[in-house]
Amino acid sequence: MKNHTHCRACGSEKLTPYLDLGLLPLSNNLATSTLDPIHLQTYPLKVMLCEDCGLSQLSVVIAPEILFSHYVYRSSISKSYVDHCRKMAVSLKEKFGLNENSFHIDIAGNDGALLQQFKEVTGARVLNIDPAENLAAISEAMGIPVFTEFWSIDCANRLLRSGHGQADLITATNVFAHVDNVKDFIAAAKIMLKPSGRLVLEFPYLVDFIENKEFDTIYFEHLSYFSVYPLSLLCKNAGLEILHVEKHEIHGGSVRVFIGNGVKDETVFNFILKEHQYGSIVPYQKFADDVRKTIHDFTEGINSLDGTIAAFAASAKGNTLLNTAGITVGRIKYIVDETPEKIGKYSPGTFIPIVSMHDFMRNPPDYLIILSWNFKEEIIAKCKAAGYVGKFIIPIPDFIIVD
């Protein structure tokens, strides 16, 4: 761990803390038993605002080798996300004329979920760049080749020397927030892009994060909480431009940003104009107050219930919620999950066992907390189809119980 003292977008030292969630464990480092010392490893989880460019960022950085070399999140587990990838492939094929002669790189492509859709829809040559060896094996088994590295200038130069050639399209979905050296990330993309090529970033949007009280998306993998303006500064310094911005509802509200050589359209100005209302510390302080109330309401709501309680999805956001609320195995029987690597392990900090769908239906609770609330419709439908007849709890943005 190292302390973070300068804004990673603009270099400013004017970083003002506005939300302190205390000492928390690493969300995706699941324990193998209740005696595993990983349960006891905690770090300060605090968010700061750059008063010069408006980028929100954590006060510490955990070494990426610890967080990502063996990663337990699989993109393809969620049908909703796979459907989103399919729609993205169709949209970008039409937008850029992608075909079998195109070359498409996906940065941090996980188990190959997105590239599988692009390969089927466009016929393009594809390459997954991901440092997690366990995910690389899954991707390659699906016919998606992998370069098992962290994305960097050095990585881009070695790709070129190895004969891959420059790309028509580089995508990076839900990874840019994970990156400490964002300047290197953008510069590496410029190296690997054809002059007419495009870098397409997709990430949870700061405005939705604030307005929908999505504090549970704060965890140590998410180093930054981006809006369009600080990203525009990064691109400009790299000799690129944000050309177009789209809003998408995936993950509680995300933006898809198109970067390359050319002239920006009015969508860029419209997003930046909306972000002006978040130019001071005041809305962030209100957000912090809202978060404290949300945590209090969740804790009170859970503790007021009669009957058994379990949770669905051993997600990073779920770990943030449960740890900040102080909800442990004493109140929640188990967390059900469909990711094979997670089943049989324990949620860090809370000691809650992670079980399969089969175990869930053998011993169903009266209440089921949907920790991955961003996929609540899919999860509720799946549980009902399996025969679950209990009630569901949606924790974010407000504590509600639904049948």
Give the distance between the most distant pair of CA atoms in the chain.
63
Q: Which of 135-144, 226-235, 389-398 has the lowest mean pLDDT?
A: 135-144
Q: Would the pLDDT of 15 be above 80?
A: yes
238-275 confidence digits (pLDDT tens): 999 999 999 999 888 999 999 999 999 999 999 999 99
How confident is the model over 139-167, as a mean pLDDT?
Answer: 95
Tracing tokens 């990156």 back to the chain, one arrives at 179
Per the prediction, the chain carries an average pLDDT of 95
Cα 100 to Cα 118, 123, 336, 346: the distances in Å are 11, 4, 41, 44
pLDDT at 78: 84
Q: Which of 32-46, 115-129, 133-147 has the lowest mean pLDDT?
A: 32-46
- Using the 8-state DSSP alphabet, how is residue 261 labeled? S
Position 71 confidence tier, pLDDT thresholds 50, 70, 90:
low
Q: Which of 33-37, 45-49, 297-301 has the lowest mean pLDDT?
A: 33-37
275-287 confidence digits (pLDDT tens): 999 989 999 999 9
297-348 confidence digits (pLDDT tens): 999 999 999 999 999 999 999 999 999 999 999 999 999 999 998 999 999 9
Q: Which residues pair with 2 in a beta bridge?
A: 61
3-state secondary structure of 179: coil
Q: Which residues pair with 125 in a beta bridge?
A: 103
pLDDT at 73: 73
pLDDT at 29: 84
Pair 393, 370: CB distance under 8 Å: yes
How confident is the model over 29-54, as a mean pLDDT?
Answer: 90
Q: What pTM value is reported for the model?
A: 0.94
Q: Would the pLDDT of 225 be above 90?
A: yes
Q: Would the pLDDT of 72 be above 80?
A: no
Q: Would the pLDDT of 68 be above 90?
A: no
Q: Would the pLDDT of 70 be above 70?
A: no
3-state secondary structure of 158: helix
How confident is the model over 184-190, as a mean pLDDT?
Answer: 98
Percent of the chain with pLDDT over 70: 99
Report which listed range, 133-137, 138-142, 362-366, is most confident: 362-366
pLDDT at 37: 78
How confident is the model over 186-209, as a mean pLDDT?
Answer: 97
How confident is the model over 21-35, as a mean pLDDT?
Answer: 90
Distance, CA of 349 to CA of 217 (rounded, Å): 17
pLDDT at 36: 83
3-state secondary structure of 50: strand
Domain spans in the chain, listed from the N-terminal domain onward:
305-402
pLDDT at 234: 97
Tracing tokens 């510490």 back to the chain, one arrives at 60
CATH no., domain 305-402:
3.40.50.720
In a 10 Å sphere around its CB, with 0-12 CB exposed, 13-18 middle and 19+ buried, how is residue 118 labelled? Answer: buried
pLDDT at 198: 98
Within 116-253, strands assigned E span 125-129, 146-147, 167-173, 193-204, 224-225, 241-248
